[in-house]
């Protein structure tokens, strides 16, 4: 696995307030990496340190194997950055704004011209290329911000809460664009909107109060909870009552009955299914539906953060 971003022992201390606390992260090249945490968890501070805009108190950051130094332009060609509140010149058009942004990287004019066309098509703003940015919606500006973050053809793109202030349509448009970048560029995507991260990210880290609580692939991270849920729908109330004894099993955590539906929380979902099938056969119970509820990133997030707060 090639590492696009590597962070070791990262600390940021603001006059005694620890915003980032001994953070270690590894972001695989070409991945869409979800950086999750509640507001104030240290996400923005971390992204600014990766971009070289904020000086760490201690620790090291590497981008594509090269060390990041505060205030240095050494790695700026490799990094694209979209802040949580991007700024634009409202009197400019998208073409003018991207020309200006590209000029800061000394990109050859012919290369820049074709890249602007390509990026405006990517973010679905090509038809609006000559309109004033001041007339744009928040979603359109956010899409333009992504184009700006990609103007220097970076290896790593840092997106700080890119959809938090958007309506559902604007959020979907931006998320579709980010998803399309998979494998083309490494995307480091901070958010507190769990459904968005779950939809497009290959890997996720959860932080709280500047500390890493959990880091893994989306696939593996769903295996973290030790309690799973199974939902059953039966034909009659009598059948529901026949399941009452299930709550006494040592691996069953909770049984919730709602009319003809039964929700069972268990530590061993496979063992539970074997036991239920046995009861169904012995008691001649008719089952309309039986499904294992998929664990969501929200379930995991709440569990992990609550465990941290109680520690």
pTM of the model as a whole = 0.76
* pLDDT tens digits, one per residue of 15-60: 888 999 999 999 999 999 998 887 788 999 999 999 999 999 999 9
Q: Model confidence over 198-252: pLDDT tens digits?
A: 788 888 888 888 888 888 877 766 665 556 788 899 999 999 888 878 888 888 8
**Cα distances (Å, whole numbers) of residue 81 to 34, 159, 162, 238, 281:** 15, 6, 11, 61, 60
Domains detected in the chain: 3-221 (3.40.50.300), 228-294 (3.30.70.600)
Tell me, rounded to whole angstroms, the distance of Cα 181 from its chain centroid.
14
- The better pLDDT of the pair 304, 265 is held by 265
Q: Can you give 101-122 as a three-state secondary structure string?
A: HHHCCCCCHHHHHHHHHHHHHH
Query: What confidence tens digit (pLDDT) does each residue in 240-284 have?
Result: 888 878 888 888 888 888 889 988 888 787 888 888 888 899 889
């Amino acid at each position: 696995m090639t590492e696009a971003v590597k962070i070791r022992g990262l600390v940021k201390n603001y006059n005694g307030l620890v915003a980032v606390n001994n953070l270690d992260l590894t972001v695989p090249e070409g991945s869409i990496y979800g950086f999750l945490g509640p507001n104030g968890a240290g996400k923005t501070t971390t992204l600014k340190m990766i971009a070289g805009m904020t000086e760490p108190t201690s620790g090291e950051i590497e981008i594509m194997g090269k060390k990041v130094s505060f205030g240095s332009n050494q790695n700026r060609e490799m990094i694209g950055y979209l802040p949580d509140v991007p700024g634009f010149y409202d009197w400019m058009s998208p073409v003018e704004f991207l020309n200006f942004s590209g000029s800061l990287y000394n990109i050859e004019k012919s290369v820049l011209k074709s890249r602007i066309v390509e990026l405006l098509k990517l973010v679905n703003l090509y038809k609006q290329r000559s309109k004033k940015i001041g007339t744009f919606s928040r979603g359109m500006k956010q899409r333009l911000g992504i184009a700006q973050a990609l103007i220097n053809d970076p290896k790593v793109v840092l997106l700080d809460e890119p959809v938090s202030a958007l309506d559902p349509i604007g959020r979907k448009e931006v998320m579709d664009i980010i998803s399309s970048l998979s494998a083309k560029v490494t995307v480091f995507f901070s958010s507190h909107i769990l459904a968005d991260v779950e939809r497009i990210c290959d890997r996720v880290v959860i932080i709280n109060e500047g500390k890493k609580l959990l880091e893994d692939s989306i696939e593996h991270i769903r295996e973290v909870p030790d309690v799973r849920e199974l939902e059953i729908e039966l034909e009659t109330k009598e059948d529901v009552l026949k399941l009452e004894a299930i709550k006494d099993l040592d691996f069953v955590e909770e049984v919730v009955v709602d009319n003809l539906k039964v929700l069972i929380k268990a530590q061993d979902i496979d063992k539970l299914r074997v036991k239920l099938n046995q009861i169904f056969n012995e008691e001649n119970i008719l089952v309309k539906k039986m499904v294992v509820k998929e664990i969501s990133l929200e379930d995991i997030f709440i569990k992990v953060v609550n465990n941290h707060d109680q520690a």
